[in-house]
Amino acid sequence: MTTARRISAAALAALLCAGGCAPASAEKGGLVRVRVSQAALDAAHAPRRFAVLVGIPEVRDPEWRPLRYAAKDAEDLGAALADPKRGRFDQVRVLTRPEQTTTQAVLQAVDALAAMASRPDDEALLYVSAHGTLARDDRGELRRYLVTQDARLKDPARTALSVDALKARFDALPSKRRVLVLATCHSGNGKSLLPPEVAEELAGIKTGFFTRPVESVSRASIVLSASDFGETAREDSELKNDIYTHFLVEGLSGAADRNLDGAVVATEAHDYARRRTFEYTQGRQRPSAEILEVGADPVVLAGALSGGGDAELFSYAARLEGARLTVDGIEKAELPGGAAVPPGRHRVQVEKGAQLLIAADVEVGRGARLSLDSLAERPPPSSGAIALGGGAFGFIDRQSREQLLPASAAGAVSLRLDRVLGDDFSLFADLMGAGGRAQLQLGGAPVDFGYRAVLGGGALARGWHLGPVSLFTGPRVAALWLGRSFNLALYQGSQEYLTLAPGWVGAASWRVFGRLELQLQISLMATYVRVDGAGSVLGHAGATAGAGWAF
């Protein structure tokens, strides 16, 4: 699609050029062949990069206290993005003047950004450094608002810029590589001021705000926030910037390029700014991010991708927040965030407290980006499983079932130990038991009897793990004990027999969710049985299904 559009646009451009430049011809109509180099075509259709940066230091309503560095934040970041040695953005608009920072003007700027970044592979960045606040909307729900030039403290819902509205505009951008950076907060502290009634309401809440973070409704976007929900974004007189913005700009100089691929992508920049902000504020400000990347292309904020560099492991999922990322036994990062690892195979673990959330062996290539969330969807590899179930076992041939022991329903318990011999081999142990009353069919006449049968076996099986499903097969040896008891008019007594049975086993397990595992096992064995004093080798089969607990 993109290629076709490029070619048709190039052809149109070439035709226009030809029409304007070529000498008049006697013939009208028809196509004119022109030569356009591939380099020229690529340059004409290279992804473009646009940024709109909004800084709102002061607003009309004097109830909002001024921000010292909001305009400077936008200008500093804009300078970094426009810098040919750093951001290399094609167009950077910095909006700080009063008429540029009204609610309507900001939304118009977003619309203009949408008009410019009109191709899916264009990059669009929208940055806002301003006061944030919370207010109830017409339906009584607590919403987040950006304090624009015309916002009034007494009526933010009607006069300030709804973050939801901004998000809706932002999500409508044709670009699929877009970043929204909100250097604001909504906690009532720092760069935030709340209407009195909202502040009073929130004061009674100990655990933070109960509205959904704006980031959670983001789609196809990267939303970076200078503070976590309910935390304070701060300006700093030493840094002369919003703290987060300061370190974001610093990261664009290359310091944030953790995988050394020549480019600082949005997640790298945020992780750098986040970590530095956290350190600088001694944990009082913890920037957050919600990221949903579209496609494989990261959003480059500075530099250019070299195609090389280390691979990146990252996660911004809320459920992994506070977890530690360990790669090959070395702690690499605290989530949310990421870490760069050399290309190759790595043992990745994510732990939260004493709980192992993710453990996986991954193969990453040069410059690859692997979301830890995708690993979290895989069930953690188990060391084994123990299961209870039921099934049946019996001799394969009909005559033996009629004359020795009928096929019997059985209860079963099984144990599987994974990775006993390398990563691929599992050790199986199982025990099946059956008992009851049945009839032998001897010469067409029934003989009532009671029976007990125990089949205990072990196997060393090769495993193939396909997501939540694992398949196993391997040799097996089992012991089969048969006991028959008769209480007949002409014969009372019991018979017992124990035999070894080598064979083969096939098994499948399915991790349904969590540690619940469903298992299926089928075994075929050869048993040596002495019947009426004569020995013979008989086929014996068993099948069980059960539910187990993976450990």
Partner 1 sequence: MTAMSAALVLLSACGEGIDNRPFSEGALLGRVLRGDKTTGRVVVMGADPKDTDLDDEGRFHFDSLKAGPQELMVVANGAEALRVPAVVAGAQVTDLEDLDPVAAAFIVVNAANTQMVESCWMTIHQTDLRQIRDDGYYRFVAGPLAPGCYDATMDNQDAELWREHVCLQPGERRAFDVTW
Query: Based on CB atoms, which residue is closest to partner 1, 307 or 535?
Result: 535
The residue among 481 and 549 lying less far from partner 1, judged by its C-beta, is: 481
Which is closer to partner 1, CB of 422 or CB of 444?
444
Q: How far is the CB of 462 from partner 1 (least distance, A)?
A: 22
Q: How far is the CB of 472 from partner 1 (least distance, A)?
A: 24
Least distance in Å: CB of 460 to partner 1? Answer: 17
CB nearer to partner 1: pick between 367 and 503: 503
- When the beta carbons of 409 and 537 are compared against partner 1, the nearer one is 537
**Closest CB to partner 1 among 344 and 446?**
446
Distance CA 446, CA 483 (A): 18
Identify the burial level of 320 via C-beta atoms within 10 angstroms of its C-beta, where 0-12 means exposed, 13-18 middle and 19 or more buried.
Answer: buried
Contacts of range 79-85, beta carbons closer than 8 Å, 24 or more positions apart: 80/249, 80/252, 80/253, 80/302, 81/51, 81/53, 81/125, 81/252, 81/301, 81/302, 82/51
The nearer residue to partner 1, 40 or 531, going by C-beta atoms, is: 531
Q: In terms of Cα–Cα distance, which of 362, 359, 461, 358 is closest to 419?
A: 461
- Distance in Å, CB of 432 to partner 1, minimum: 18
Q: Count CA atoms closer than 13 A to 181's CA, side-chain side.
A: 32
Helix (H, G, I), strand (E, B) or coil at 205: coil
Q: Which is nearer to partner 1, 41 or 447 (CB)?
A: 447
DSSP state of 215: G
Closer residue to partner 1 (CB): 140 or 443: 443
User: Peptide bond before 62: cis, by omega within 30 degrees of 0?
Assistant: no
Q: Give min distance, CB of 421 to partner 1, in A.
A: 23
Specify whether the CB–CB gap between 36 and 16 falls below 8 A.
no
Report residue 156: phi and psi, to 5°: -60, -35
CA dist 87 and 93 (Å) reads 13
Minimum CB distance to partner 1, residue 535 (Å): 6
Q: Which of 168, 268, 185, 181 is nearest to 222 (CA)?
A: 181
Instruction: Kindly state the smallest distance separating residue 416's Cβ from partner 1, in Å.
Output: 25
User: DSSP assignment, residue 192?
Assistant: B
Nearest approach in angstroms of CB 406 to partner 1 is 13
Task: Report in angstroms how near the CB of residue 381 gets to partner 1 at its nearest.
Answer: 35
Question: Which two three-digit tokens encode residue 379?
Answer: 């069930």
Of 111 and 496, nearer to partner 1 (C-beta) is 496
The strand order across the sheet containing 337-341 reads: 337-341, 311-315, 369-371
Strands 324-327 and 344-352: antiparallel
Q: Could you tell me which residues come within 8 angstroms of residue 408 by beta carbon, excluding any fewer than 6 positions away?
A: 392, 393, 394, 434, 435, 436, 438, 451, 453
* Contacting positions for partner 1 (CB under 8 A): 403-404, 440, 442-447, 482, 484, 486, 488-491, 493, 495-500, 502, 526-533, 535, 537
Taking the CA atoms of residue 262, residue 223, residue 244 and residue 62 in that order, the dihedral angle to the nearest 10 degrees is 140
Q: Is residue 236 within 8 Å of residue 183, measured between CB atoms?
A: no
Q: Which residue, 340 or 478, is less far from partner 1 as judged by CB?
A: 478
Measured from the Cβ of residue 293, the count of other Cβ atoms closer than 10 Å reads 20
The least CB distance from residue 310 to partner 1, in Å, is 55
- Pairwise CA distance, residues 306 & 251, whole Å: 18
- Taking the complex as a whole, the smallest distance from the CB of residue 395 to partner 1 amounts, in Å, to 11
Residue (238 or 532) nearer to partner 1, CB: 532
The least CB distance from residue 420 to partner 1, in Å, is 23
